[in-house]
Amino acid sequence: MWNLLFGKLTWNSLPHVWYTIGGTLTLMLMGAVAAAVLTYTKRWKWLWNEWLTSTDPKRIGIMYIIVALLMLFRGALDAIMIWMQQALSVGSSTGYLSADHFQQIFTAHGDIMVFFATMGLLVGLMNLVVPLQIGARDLAFPFLNTLGFWLYVAGAILINMFFVFGGDFAATGWLAQAPLSELQFSPGVGVDYWIWSLQVSGLGSLLAGLNFLVTILKMRAPGMTLMRMPLFVWTTLCSSILVVTVFPILAITIAMLTLDRYLGMHFFTTTNGGNPMMYINLIWMWGHPEVYILVLPSFGIFSEVVSTFSHKKLAGYTSQVLAAIFVTILSLMVWLHHFFTMGAGADVNAIFGISTMIIAIPTGVQIFNWLSTMYRGRIVLSSSLYWFLGFVATFTFGGIAGVLLASPTADYQLHNSLFLVAHFHTMIVGGALFGLFAGITYWFPKFMGFKLNEKLGKTAFWFWLTGFFLAFIPLYILGYMGATRRLDHYTNPAWQPLFIISVLGFMVILAGVTTQILQIIISIKNRKQNMDLSGDPWDARNLEWATSSPPPFYNYAVIPEVHGRDAFWEMKKEMKENPQPANVEYKDFELPKNTPFGIYLAGFALLFGFAMVWHMFLIAGIGFVGMMVCLIIRAFDEETEYILTAQEIAKLEQERKDHIYA
Amino acid sequence: MHEEKNEKTFLGFWIYLMTDLLMFAGLFAAFIVLRNNTFGGVGGSQIFNMPFVLVETLFLLTSSFTCGVALLLAHEKKLKGVIAMLCTTFLLGAGFLGMELYEFSHLFSEGHTYQKSAFLSSYFALVGTHGLHITAGLLWMLILIIFILKKGLTQGGIRKITLMSLFWHFLDIVWIFIFTIVYLMGVAL
């Protein structure tokens, strides 16, 4: 009976070491504070009705960003623990972490940063900006959007759950490569937490990708042809195509690992004919495109930022689009460069080496396009543009390191070394994350109605840039000296000074993060001075700035017509020539109702995932049936939309105007 | 309004089908890599009963036909015909599933379980995943029949039938590949 209900969970698995007890207490404290604040301000109902059950992409986008920032914080905590251990653990000293605990930390750091921090920020920004940029009121499938968000949250909870319910986390590295992740070598529940967390949140990402793909293809404003779309929309499209192409591979690969672990199958085992190398192939078929899923939207953000702050249209629009498409296609053909050392043979390695190096060409095209956009532009050096300039430095640097790694002969030396770790951090932090910072600074006034403090933004940028190079250049050097990744201990004392410099670099980055937190607090405090209700604080070019800041929940009372690229810029020119606005006539339109089914379904998915981790099959069954019942009830509901009538719109629009000009 | 909504839904559903197809592609790839890794145990030619699988296949192909007829009748608003055809499809599909389960239990009773070798693992996983999809399709069909009986052939109802039949034909196509790659090539090679 105990087995059926509680599976492998016993009293002994509950938290009993300092970090899990600490984690549990912190989480409970945070929950209690949040609950107290909500009760005190009587905001429970408001939270449920206005936010948690919302289908408005602007609300969902903001929730994505909040969760992602929390996860970014969690991932940064892991990073500092890894760094401290490596700075201390040399020679006779073994540092302050056990080898096993250290392994769990670097696994969690990688997964949390990729799946929950960066992906969350990205999907959040897409939710906020894409519908506005294409002149739509919503995404194609509002229900799938809220469901995707809540599955992402469920995954985020699952990956942190071992703090509270005990057990451990996977000690396998962020991709849980077989056969290490097989039952034989990882008998605990750590890998199972990994499996179900990624499976649940991966489904959420897949739904988001599908949703954006259909939205961009089907819901553009009249006149917005594909070749008139803003670059951020283009890169979101490319990124979404990659998501729907490779996330199924991730799902099935993890599913096969699950079958191995739960049913004793032999896909990737070392016995009975299993083939662990197949796991490595399959997981990287997802893993490499994932890098481009993260970085392509950042390219789009930089295109927006550069042309806005240079007050010029983007140079080489067509080549920019083609470059993004080219990168999308190429990224699917390079996965093998992650394991040249597997020994696929010289021919295979050469083909994948060359295809990897070719990616540098479209990427270079994009960088030159941005720089030529700035050339002879009327440049305003805002903090968003600072992030772009920093990105050019880091990304070119990391890119060149990448081309070097793409050569199989060099890779045999550098494989699995800290050189590689430094390379991909340069790409993800210096590429994707800097782009996201630029994007958040750039679009913040659109959704909040006031700008962020520019001065602190620039200070934060300088901390980040210097800290970044200080933290990662030593890792490149250490890689050359032979330091492998995931070292919890080393014997060569000559490495220690470099590791210590690296930690100092991280401290400088931390100063940058603190400045950013300060920036947000001060900006909120002084919001009156930075208020912008006009909706166009930067003199920008694309459609999202054509509506007020923050936009009304229906985005546009009348869907704008697009007559060219840089649609809003064209509109502004026309306004100058012909300032008499035509009489607008409002028409009824449909909007999606809020629905709690996303949150219910994800709740059952969470229950299912958690029960599966501990082999509580009865409870897992309840979770599964719950999901099915939610789906069926939702399928029978034919009235998922409501109509906003012309009179209501006119009234809302009048109120909005009164508020803006007050 | 409805047409616009249909367009979005159909495109979205097609994309979903393609993602599902990619998932199957992963399983097919695994099967092709592992099909000779029998670990000294049985291979495909020793355990596949081709006449049995052929009958199974005919069940599924016929059900695809009746499913198509159901959709045609739905556009002509012939409620009774639609229900009759959907029920036939359901029975044929259930027959297919029953035969597959019988095949599996037969293999188990002979001791050819999925724990025995990588070949058997990948065989059971690939064919079993298809079987799970069929089960989901059957469940969907049942719910759809109830939906139509309750609400009639509304715009939404016809959309749901279209989606379900797309799904069913998709499973048919996947099965053709399973029949070829797993069974025919398993016996021949």
Residue A641 burial class via C-beta count within 10 angstroms: exposed 0-12, middle 13-18, buried 19 and up: middle
- The C-alpha angle B17, B19, B25, rounded to 5 degrees, equals 105
Question: Residue A313 and residue A307: Cα distance in Å, rounded?
Answer: 6
Interface touch B147/A273, C-beta < 8 Å = no
A-B C-beta contacts closer than 8 Å: 107
Tell me what pLDDT residue A489 has. 93
Mean pLDDT of B50-68: 96
Q: Which residue has the tokens 């806005």?
A: A308
Average model confidence (pLDDT) across chain B: 94
Which of A347-361, A395-409, A559-573 has the lowest average pLDDT?
A: A559-573
Residues of chain A contacting B38 with CB distance shorter than 8 Å:
273
Residue type, B45: S
Q: In whole angstroms, what is the distance from residue A197 CA to residue A111 CA?
A: 10
With the CA atoms of A251, A255, A256 and A257 taken in that order, what torsion angle do they form, in degrees rounded to the nearest 10?
Answer: 100
Residue type, A633: I
Residue with tokens 């490499």: A288
Distance CA A315, CA A366 (A): 10
Distance from CA of A591 to the nearest CA of B (A): 12
User: Residues A33, A34, A37, A43: what is their CA dihedral angle, to the nearest 10 degrees?
Assistant: -160
Report the share of chain B in percent with pLDDT over 90: 88
Q: For residue B3, what pLDDT is reported?
A: 74
Q: Which residues of B touch A (CB under 8 A)?
A: 1, 7-8, 11-12, 15-16, 18-20, 22-23, 25-27, 29-30, 33-34, 37-39, 114-119, 121-122, 124-125, 143, 147, 151, 154, 156, 160
Q: How far apart are the first and last CA of chain A?
A: 68
- What is the rounded end-to-end Cα distance, in angstroms, of chain B? 54
Least CB-CB distance to A265: which of B7, B121, B156?
A: B121
Classify residue A560 by its DSSP letter. P
- Which of the residues B1, B121, B132, B135 would you substitute to probe the A interface, choosing the one with the greatest number of A C-beta atoms within 10 Å? B121
pLDDT tens sequence across B75-95: 999 999 999 999 999 999 999
Look up residue B80 and give its two tokens: 């009774």
Lowest mean pLDDT among A6-20, A509-523, B157-171: A6-20
Confidence of residue A5 (pLDDT cuts 50, 70, 90): confident
Task: Quickly state the pLDDT bin for A657 (edges 50, 70, 90).
Answer: confident
Q: For residue B156, list chain A residues with Cβ-Cβ distance below 8 A.
A: 638
> pLDDT, tens digit, for every residue of A467-526?
999 999 999 999 999 999 999 999 999 999 999 999 999 999 999 999 999 999 999 999
Whether residues A140 and B1 touch (CB distance < 8 A) is answered with no
Containing A642, the helix (H) or strand (E) segment is strand A641-644
Mean pLDDT score, A139-145: 95
Q: Which domains does chain B have, with CATH numbers?
A: 2-188 (1.20.120.80)
For the stretch A155-203, pLDDT in tens is 999 999 888 777 788 999 999 998 999 999 999 899 999 999 999 999 9
Task: Please give the pLDDT value at position A385.
Answer: 96
Give the number of C-alpha atoms closer than 13 A to the C-alpha of residue A72, restricted to the C-beta side. 19
- The ipTM (two decimal places) reads 0.96
Alpha-carbon separation of residue A395 from A76, A428, A471, B71 (angstroms): 21, 9, 15, 54
Omega before residue A297 within 30° of 0, cis: no
| A255-285 per-position pLDDT tens digit | 999 999 999 999 999 999 999 999 999 999 9
Confirm if A552 and A216 have CB atoms less than 8 A apart: no
pLDDT at residue A225, as a whole number? 95
The answer to whether the Cβ–Cβ distance between B12 and A249 falls below 8 Å is no
Mean pLDDT over each residue of chain A, to the nearest integer: 92
Choose the weakest-confidence range: A45-59, A204-218, A496-510, A579-593.
A579-593
Position A430 pLDDT exceeds 60: yes
H runs (alpha helix) in A16-56: 18-40, 44-46
Give the nearest partner residue to A210 out of B16, B27, B151, using CB atoms: B16
What is the identity of the amino acid at A314? L
| Helix (H) or strand (E) segment spanning residue A592 | strand A589-592
- pLDDT at position A19 over 90: no
State the Cα–Cα distance between residues A152 and A123, nearest whole angstrom. Answer: 10
Task: Tell me the pLDDT band of A654, cut-offs 50, 70 and 90.
Answer: confident
Cα A195 → chain centroid: 19
CB contact under 8 A, B19 and A272: no
Work out the minimum CA distance from A277 to partner chain B, whole angstroms: 11
Q: Quote the minimal CA–CA distance from B64 to chain A in Å.
A: 23
Predicted local distance difference test score (pLDDT) of residue A640:
84
DSSP of B122-180: HHHHHHHHHHHHHHHHHHHHHHHHHHHHHH-S-HHHHHHHHHHHHHHHHHHHHHHHIII
Burial status of residue A48 (CB atoms within 10 A of its CB: 0-12, 13-18, 19 or more): middle
| A140 interaction partners in chain B (CB closer than 8 Å) | 8, 12
H or E segment to which residue A591 belongs? strand A589-592
Tell me what percent of chain B is helix, strand and coil, each rounded to the nearest 5.
Answer: 85, 0, 15
pLDDT at A15: 72
Are A635 and B147 an interchain contact pair (Cβ–Cβ within 8 Å)? yes
pLDDT at residue B1, rounded to an integer: 54
> Mind listing the pLDDT tens digit for each residue in A558-608?
899 999 899 899 888 888 887 766 677 888 898 999 999 999 999 999 999
Q: Work out the percent of chain B whose per-residue pLDDT is above 70.
A: 98
Q: What is the pLDDT of residue A662?
A: 64
